[in-house]
């Protein structure tokens, strides 16, 4: 660090805010201003997020998030894949919500196709998998958030349960993280034999695990001091800045896309939307723990009432035929050849489909021009929307609180940068 004589009031205007740490002394012996670069390798930024902080002592005067380090051009790449191939790219948007991304893409394309009916078993399995995914995401969030604040043991408890969920994903799809399990027209594979026992065993034990987390944190004096009254931002600001999901619900808005715009037969499930009114980091923690309990309820209902029947739509032009049919029926062989070589065509038009991901509203704007490849896939990802509120959460607060505030936003940088 070195002393600078020039005083910089704001660093917003400078292009690509320069990297060096500066110490600015306005009047000798009085306030010392410091520009501090947090990230992109800082552990509590949960990925490669860079924040340029301007500090006055320990108070944050301004915060400038700098994103784009993980930009991989997924939207561009979707345009050269066939409709079904692009499913594998949606996995890679958000490594903690890949099934939600699969689901929203499949729903959008199915809405574009129009005359395709997804059988109840596929819809219920989609719901069950998406909810397991929500548990997975919230567990990683809780573990790392607690670790940031200093409660290390919670991390191990959470990852113990997460391992069970990843095993279930592997059992269903053959993959632990990049599952690509939800496809256009249904599922990738038939649910495996004996899945009821595995999911049942996990979900019966899970509520008691949530009790354990609550016991560790709920009335833990350090946890409460670090989270209560921290990160409060007026609801109007949050809405205006495009924040969605648990952060909004912790500010008292009872808005959940699963209830308000039900998709994939969520309307047949019985669950509540946990809300709080305190609007601080602690409230966000309570909301997410409440959501874990509700997800467990949904999974239990899906397990008990899983409909029988087909797990793929009856649409030979879109869904690959069974192996046996392909070997014995000419027509099935032709469809198989067409789907694999060329892909299927989708009616021209556009769809904006939203679902509730663990982090908030995830919406895909899919445009088709009638060919076998997407013309444009825009991904409105919750982390991108939420991260915009970061300066509002940090400015004027203490530097130490920024770790708690950042953790409570629960963003994934892959999701932000796509």
Partner 1 sequence: MLPDVLKETAAAVDIDSRFPEAITGGHTERGEPTLFIAPAFIVEVCRFLKTEQRFVRLSSVTAVDWLPSEPRFEVAYNLHSLDRNERLRLKCWVSEAECEIDSVTGVWRAANWYEREVFDMFGIRFRNHPDLRRILMPTDWEGHPLRKDYPVHGYKYTYQNE
Please identify, using beta-carbon distances, which residue of 135 and 392 lies nearer to partner 1. Answer: 392
Instruction: Kindly state the tokens that stand for 355.
Output: 């679902």
Least distance to partner 1, CB of residue 198, Å: 37
Beta carbons within 10 angstroms of residue 217's beta carbon: 22
Least distance to partner 1, CB of residue 123, Å: 18
Q: Do residues 197 and 175 lie in contact, with contact meaning Cβ atoms separated by under 8 Å?
A: no
Binds partner 1 by CB under 8 A, chosen from 198, 310, 349, 398: 349
Least distance to partner 1, CB of residue 76, Å: 6
Please identify, using beta-carbon distances, which residue of 136 and 244 lies nearer to partner 1. Answer: 244
Where do runs of H (alpha helix) occur along 241-280?
Answer: 246-249, 257-260
- Give the range of 32-40, 132-140, 148-156, 357-365 binding partner 1 by CB under 8 A: 357-365
351 binds partner 1 (CB under 8 A): yes
Q: What is the DSSP string of 55-100?
A: EETTEEEEEEEE--TT---HHHHHTTS-TTTHHHHHHTT-TT-HHH
Please identify, using beta-carbon distances, which residue of 45 and 173 lies nearer to partner 1. Answer: 45
Least distance to partner 1, CB of residue 263, Å: 12
Please identify, using beta-carbon distances, which residue of 188 and 394 lies nearer to partner 1. Answer: 394
Dihedral angle of Cα 408, 414, 415, 417, to the nearest 10 degrees: 110
Q: From CA 340, how far away is CA 40, in angstroms rounded?
A: 41
Task: State which of positions 8-67 bind partner 1 (CB under 8 A).
Answer: 12-13, 15-16, 67
Longest CA pairwise span in the chain (Å): 88
Please identify, using beta-carbon distances, which residue of 112 and 158 lies nearer to partner 1. Answer: 112
Least distance to partner 1, CB of residue 375, Å: 7
Please identify, using beta-carbon distances, which residue of 98 and 381 lies nearer to partner 1. Answer: 381
Please identify, using beta-carbon distances, which residue of 199 and 243 lies nearer to partner 1. Answer: 243
Question: Which residue's structure tokens are 């919406």?
Answer: 363
Binding mask 360-399 for partner 1 (x = CB under 8 A): -x-x-x-x-------xx-x-x---xx--x-----------
Phi and psi torsions of 308, nearest 5° = -90, 165
* Contacts of 363 by beta carbon, 8 Å cutoff, 6+ apart: 104, 352, 353, 354, 355, 379, 380
Please identify, using beta-carbon distances, which residue of 296 and 366 lies nearer to partner 1. Answer: 366
Task: State which of positions 73-92 bind partner 1 (CB under 8 A).
Answer: 73, 75-77, 79-80
Between the two ends of the chain, the Cα-to-Cα distance in Å is 34
345 binds partner 1 (CB under 8 A): no
Cis omega before residue 40 (within 30°)? yes
Where do runs of H (alpha helix) occur along 273-349?
Answer: 281-305, 323-328, 330-341
Q: Do residues 46 and 309 lie in contact, with contact meaning Cβ atoms separated by under 8 Å?
A: no
Please identify, using beta-carbon distances, which residue of 241 and 326 lies nearer to partner 1. Answer: 241
252 binds partner 1 (CB under 8 A): no
Q: Do residues 152 and 164 lie in contact, with contact meaning Cβ atoms separated by under 8 Å?
A: no
Binds partner 1 by CB under 8 A, chosen from 18, 117, 211, 260: 260
How many residues bind partner 1 (CB under 8 A)? The answer is 43
- Give the interface with partner 1 as residue ranges (CB under 8 A): 12-13, 15-16, 67-68, 71, 73, 75-77, 79-80, 111-112, 114, 237, 239-242, 253, 255, 260-261, 349-352, 354, 361, 363, 365, 367, 375-376, 378, 380, 384-385, 388, 417-418
């Amino acid at each position: 660090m070195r002393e600078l004589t020039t005083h910089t009031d704001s660093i917003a205007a400078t292009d690509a805010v320069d990297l060096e740490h500066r110490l600015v002394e306005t009047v000798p012996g009085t306030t010392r201003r410091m520009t501090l670069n947090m990230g992109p390798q800082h552990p509590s930024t949960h990925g490669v997020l860079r924040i340029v902080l301007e500090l006055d002592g320990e108070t944050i005067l301004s915060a400038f998030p700098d994103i784009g380090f993980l930009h991989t051009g997924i939207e561009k790449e979707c345009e050269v894949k066939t409709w079904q191939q692009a499913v594998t790219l949606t996995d890679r948007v958000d490594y903690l919500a890949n099934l939600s991304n699969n689901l929203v893409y499949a729903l959008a394309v199915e809405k574009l196709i129009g005359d395709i009916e997804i059988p109840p078993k596929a819809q219920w399995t989609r719901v069950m998998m998406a909810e397991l995914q929500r548990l997975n995401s919230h567990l990683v969030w809780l573990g790392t958030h607690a670790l940031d604040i200093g409660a290390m043991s919670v991390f191990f408890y959470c990852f113990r349960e997460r391992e069970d969920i990843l095993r279930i994903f592997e059992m269903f799809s053959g993959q632990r993280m990049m599952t690509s399990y939800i496809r256009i027209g249904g599922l990738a594979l038939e649910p495996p034999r004996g899945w009821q026992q595995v999911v049942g065993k996990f979900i019966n034990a899970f509520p008691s695990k949530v009790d354990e987390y609550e016991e560790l944190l709920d009335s833990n004096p350090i946890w409460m001091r670090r989270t209560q009254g921290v990160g409060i931002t007026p609801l109007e600001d949050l809405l205006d800045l495009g924040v969605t999901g648990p952060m909004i619900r912790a500010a008292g808005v009872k808005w959940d896309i699963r209830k308000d715009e039900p998709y994939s037969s969520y309307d047949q499930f019985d669950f509540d939307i946990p809300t709080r009114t305190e609007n601080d980091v602690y409230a966000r923690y309570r909301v997410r723990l409440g959501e874990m309990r509700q997800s467990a309820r949904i999974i239990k209902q899906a397990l008990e009432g899983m409909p029988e029947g087909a797990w793929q739509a009856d649409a030979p032009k879109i869904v690959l035929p069974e192996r046996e049919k392909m070997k014995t029926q000419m027509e099935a062989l032709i469809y198989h050849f067409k789907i694999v070589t060329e892909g299927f065509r989708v009616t021209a038009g556009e769809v904006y489909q939203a679902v509730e991901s663990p982090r908030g509203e995830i919406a895909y704007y899919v445009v088709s021009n009638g060919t076998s490849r997407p013309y444009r896939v825009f991904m409105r990802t919750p982390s991108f929307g939420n991260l915009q509120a970061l300066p509002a959460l940090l400015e004027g607060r203490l530097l130490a609180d920024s770790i708690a505030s950042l953790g409570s936003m629960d963003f994934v940088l892959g999701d932000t940068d796509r």
